[in-house]
């Protein structure tokens, strides 16, 4: 990746403790272990200018924040300023933003956390060891439409999330819309340890398996989870029964082949092929995994498998679509599919000339269904 010789440093603002005003906004529901007074004081400011902004040595061609965070991979990162997003990686509360030249810098919202540890965790989360521009060039050389889309949508990365966090988020996403998914994920997140506030948003570590096990199915239903509540509770129970621990079991899937990963994840309640493929791609290093929903099905019919025009999506055809993507794009087919999927989102179509639109969007906020979602609507 390109190196930056620039270090952006904002001088800390000295605010006497005795004059600091308390926020009038109520805190979210406390975690199972309330934060100590020391932690509350430590995170009582939401002023990012009180912390250093540090170059990440990544340019916009390698990482576009608006094309990575609000595009359906994760629902935990918040837009906290112009071209700025804030979220949690492990135990680290971090903000990322683009400078005027497109380069990315980051801010660690802590005076006590290790900057070295936070940076290492952030780079791992961003899959920073994978060179996006080289990959995009390979795809573009073999696909004229991809080449044209990449000119407008460069920097769309695939994240490497914590597997348990990714699993629970995508259990919430089944046959759902972005606003409701975000509320569900925020509720689950609030069960973890409180880290602090940035702008109007409160941030927590994602709860551990043990912390989430303290929540009942009825509590989730009362919070609006619908039929997904039983799947989350069922999955938590299944993971707790795994030898060595459920979170360790999920991490161990990174060592398996894709089909074994899909098979293992599909034993969990509520996890079908599409959700399993999302988890595999966004957290388990399965870079050729293809989550097939109606967006991807439409792309495949229009550009990869035109002979299937007029067909209805079935589990067998889902496999055929995934195979077509892998044949076309190789071991990083999931990254190619991610850019093609982003090009279908209403929020990104404004960046594209109209001749690159596949179809007019009929429901902007909906996470469109895969074949496995059929029949679940009646359970809401």
Active site (catalytic) residues = 274
Helix, strand, coil fractions of the chain, as percent rounded to 5: 45, 10, 45
At residue 252, the 3 state secondary structure works out as helix
Contact 366, 213 (CB under 8 A): no
CA distance 23 to 32: 22
- Distances in Å between the Cα of 325 and the Cα atoms of 15, 133, 152, 290, 338 are 55, 19, 21, 7, 11
d(CA 302, CA 306): 6
Rounded to whole angstroms, the Cα distance separating 274 from 309 reads: 21
Distances in Å between the Cα of 303 and the Cα atoms of 52, 224, 282, 325, 343 are: 46, 38, 24, 10, 14
- Give the alpha-carbon dihedral of 130, 135, 137, 140, to 10 degrees: -150
Contact 125, 232 (CB under 8 A): no
Question: How far is 234 from 82, CA to CA, in rounded Å?
Answer: 40
* DSSP-based three-state secondary structure for 360: coil
Q: What is the DSSP string of 22-73?
A: PP-SPPPPP-SSPPPHHHHHHT----GGGS-EEEEEE-TTT--STTTTTTTT
């Amino acid at each position: 990746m390109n190196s930056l010789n620039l270090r952006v440093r904002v001088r800390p603002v000295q605010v006497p403790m005795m004059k600091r005003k308390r926020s009038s906004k109520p805190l979210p529901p406390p975690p199972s272990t309330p934060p100590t007074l020391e932690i509350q004081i430590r995170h009582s400011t939401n002023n990012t200018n009180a912390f250093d902004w540090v170059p990440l040595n990544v340019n916009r061609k390698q990482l576009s924040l608006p094309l990575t965070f609000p595009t359906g991979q994760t629902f935990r990162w918040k837009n906290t300023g112009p071209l700025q997003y804030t979220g949690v990686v492990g135990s680290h509360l971090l903000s990322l933003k683009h400078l005027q030249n497109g380069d990315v810098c980051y801010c660690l919202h802590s005076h006590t956390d290790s900057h070295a540890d936070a940076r290492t965790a952030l780079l791992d989360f961003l899959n920073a060891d994978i060179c996006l521009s080289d990959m995009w060039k390979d795809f573009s050389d073999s696909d004229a439409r991809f080449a044209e889309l990449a000119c407008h949508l460069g920097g769309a990365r695939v994240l490497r999330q914590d597997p348990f966090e990714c699993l629970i988020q995508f259990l919430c996403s089944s046959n759902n819309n972005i606003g409701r998914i975000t509320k569900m994920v925020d509720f689950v997140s609030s069960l973890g340890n409180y880290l602090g506030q940035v702008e109007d948003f409160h941030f927590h570590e994602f709860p551990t398996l043990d912390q989430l096990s303290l929540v009942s199915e009825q509590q989730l239903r009362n919070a609006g989870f619908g039929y997904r509540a039983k799947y989350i509770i069922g999955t938590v129970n299944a993971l707790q029964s795994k030898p060595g621990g459920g979170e360790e079991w999920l991490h161990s899937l990174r060592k398996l082949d894709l089909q074994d990963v899909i098979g293992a994840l599909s034993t969990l309640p509520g996890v079908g092929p599409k959700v399993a493929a999302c988890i595999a791609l966004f957290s388990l290093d399965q870079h050729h995994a293809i989550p097939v929903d109606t967006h991807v099905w439409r792309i495949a019919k229009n550009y990869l498998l035109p002979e299937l025009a007029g067909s209805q999506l079935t589990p067998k055809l889902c496999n055929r679509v995934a195979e077509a993507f892998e044949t076309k794009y190789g071991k990083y087919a999931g990254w190619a599919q991610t850019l093609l999927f982003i090009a279908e989102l209403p929020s990104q179509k404004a960046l594209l000339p109209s001749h690159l639109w596949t179809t007019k969007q009929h429901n902007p906020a909906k996470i469109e269904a895969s074949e496995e979602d059929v029949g679940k609507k009646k359970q809401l």
